[in-house]
Homo-oligomer: A and B are copies of this chain.
């Protein structure tokens, strides 16, 4: 018997088998947005009210529902409810500027836009056929608690569940179409490798919109685990929540763990979670020293993951193997800087140019309304990651260089081309190259190399403040260096690899 693998599977098991279990503890002190502690039965009831609400509004199956929100219980429920109802969820990065959000809402053709109350004022100009601010009005005006519940939509497993916009090699973000099957296999296989279970307590240190929280909002619901919302990353607050809720599991970019390690210096008393917490790190791998400190100072198990928004994201997974348990801590940590071994069902190979290629059920169906980019990414039946890497004799992947000009800072993807476009708009700039350079806290930071036009008086502060006006803060350069020229290949391409090289040496290990 074939039954479609769908997002509803997770919601369904949560409701059937874990009705009375705590599903979500929302962020406290957020009256406008807060849902109090929710059971999985209540979560499923609310998800049905969303479904009936979309029905009543005339939003058809397959239509897009965009959500711009900080981490919140409501976002978690929408990640499940929107695809389970047969609509397509478009979770938007809450750090984007209004014009960036506007582009995504328009490009995805979203007929519903749901906005975090904290972001309402900034996004007041952005609309869709139906625009709602998440909170009490959504519950009275959109959700329908009074209608007879009906079964979840039963889409084909290849139907689109989410469109996740990501900055890549182009100026505009591309919409990654993630199918129900993609979500299901990513979440289940990640849960398998993580050994997630009903006794886990998960703290949302990762933005839920980001590859849909890497899949944990789905599989943890299916396993009946407790989830604790965290709206803003703050090292000391993370330690407090770990202690308060008995947290066992967290995910995040290296910057999150650096923030925790910093806060641990000032922590009074015994640090919480020793020998109980496991953390998963993705994005640029942190220095060996950070990994060693997480394991020794915090006593938390460190796990590395590698993937892209285009791969749902899991491709590889790296946890200390039985054979390595007895290694000296520094050596063990060094092995954990590798991206890891392919996840179950994922095949990797290194292409002729040194590029990492992947075949997996977690690879995207395509880019939304962008057949050319889709064909390019999936050329030859393999997904082209754009990252350079190598496979060692333990079958582990190490990423050596990102071929695409994507900067990853604090876990966020930044398209260097998008930032260059923005800087080029400023008078007095003759040429610009934007690169990521290693940064101990953020993994990478954005640096602009600028060739000024003759006679230009443009300053580094002019450039930075111009970027901050038009782009999300994390995309704006933290430094500008003026140059006489920028090296190019014979065919005129900027050699960013050479530009980055001078910074590589400074990288802590």
Contacts and interface: CB of A to CB of B under 8 A. Distances in A.
B344 A16 contact: no
Given A321-B198, A344-B10, A361 B16 contact: no
Nearest to A365: B1
Contact of A1 (B17, B198, B361, B396): B361
A498 to B, nearest CB: 33
Interface in A333-361: 341-342, 344-345, 347, 359-361
A394 B378 CA distance: 45
Nearest to A343: B13
Between A224, A322, A394, the greatest number of chain B beta carbons within 10 A of the residue's beta carbon is seen for A322
A21 interface: yes
A189 interface: yes
Contacts of A16: 341-342, 395
Given A1-B383, A188-B192, A341 B17 contact: yes
B195 A197 contact: yes
A315 interface: no
A279 interface: no
A3 interface: yes
A499 interface: no
A189 B394 CA distance: 26
Nearest to A341: B17
Nearest to A158: B2
A181 to B, nearest CB: 7
A10 B344 CA distance: 7
A383 to B, nearest CB: 7
A214 B196 CA distance: 21
A359 B2 CA distance: 9
Between A17, A19, A191, A364, the greatest number of chain B beta carbons within 10 A of the residue's beta carbon is seen for A17
A505 interface: no
Contacts of A42: none
Secondary structure at chain A's binding surface: helix, strand, loop or mixed? Answer: loop
Interface in A378-418: 378, 383, 393-396
B345 A3 contact: yes
A3 B189 CA distance: 14
A2 B381 CA distance: 10
A490 interface: no
Given A2-B361, A363-B1, A198 B322 contact: yes
Contact of A360 (B1, B10, B365): B1
A222 interface: yes
A249 interface: no
Nearest to A1: B363
Nearest to A185: B5
A506 interface: no
A345 B5 contact: yes
Interface string A165-205: 00000000000000001001000110111011111000000
A13 B344 contact: yes
A3 B361 contact: yes
Contacts of A396: 17
A308 B344 CA distance: 25
A12 interface: yes
A121 interface: no
A9 interface: yes
A332 to B, nearest CB: 15
A478 to B, nearest CB: 36
A344 B1 contact: no
A479 interface: no
24 contacts: A1-B360, A1-B378, A2-B181, A3-B345, A3-B359, A3-B360, A3-B361, A9-B344, A9-B345, A13-B341, A13-B344, A13-B345, A16-B341, A16-B395, A17-B341, A17-B394, A17-B395, A21-B323, A184-B345, A188-B344, A192-B223, A199-B322, A223-B344, A224-B321
The 5 closest A-B pairs by CB, nearest first: A17-B341, A1-B363, A16-B395, A17-B395, A195-B195
